[in-house]
């Protein structure tokens, strides 16, 4: 979660929805301060501020997650073992099959 005390704005971040881009904008333009990355709720004392979040097309989000955990730095979070276990190549289609079966 990032806040701008000056403008009384709260951004509640959802992973893989452009969070870093919004954080950068807040810091450069709104005197934003990171309070807690990917917080689950807005603190009670900030509820009367302008609060917003961003959602993303589920397919685009799945592509982004696949890229982040399987392609950018190599498989992580145990997916390399799962691809091997199921004798699958590291593709988006196979990633979605694995995630759906977990």
The domain boundary, picked from 52, 70, 93, lies at 52
- What does pLDDT average to over the chain? 85
Do 12 and 29 reside in the same domain of the chain? yes
pLDDT the model gives residue 46: 94
Given pLDDT bands bounded at 50, 70 and 90, which one contains residue 6? very high
What domain count does the chain have? 2
Q: Does the model's pTM come out above 0.75?
A: no
Do 10 and 47 reside in the same domain of the chain? yes
Supply the range of the domain harboring residue 88. Answer: 58-101
CB 34 within 8 A of CB 25: no
**69 pLDDT exceeds 80?**
no
**77 pLDDT exceeds 70?**
no
**88 pLDDT exceeds 90?**
no
Query: Of 73, 67, 78, 51, nearest to 15 (Cα)?
Result: 67
Do 34 and 18 reside in the same domain of the chain? yes
Task: Work out the number of other CB atoms within 10 angstroms of the CB of residue 65.
Answer: 17
């Amino acid at each position: 979660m990032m806040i701008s005390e000056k403008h009384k704005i709260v951004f509640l971040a959802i992973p893989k929805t452009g969070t870093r881009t919004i954080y950068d904008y807040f810091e450069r333009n709104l005197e934003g301060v990171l309070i807690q990355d990917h917080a689950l709720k807005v603190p009670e004392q900030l509820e009367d501020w302008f609060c917003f979040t961003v959602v993303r097309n589920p397919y685009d989000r799945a592509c982004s997650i696949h890229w982040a955990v399987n392609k950018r730095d190599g498989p992580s979070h145990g997916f390399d073992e799962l691809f091997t276990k199921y004798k699958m190549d590291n593709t988006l289609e196979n990633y979605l099959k694995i995630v759906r079966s977990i």
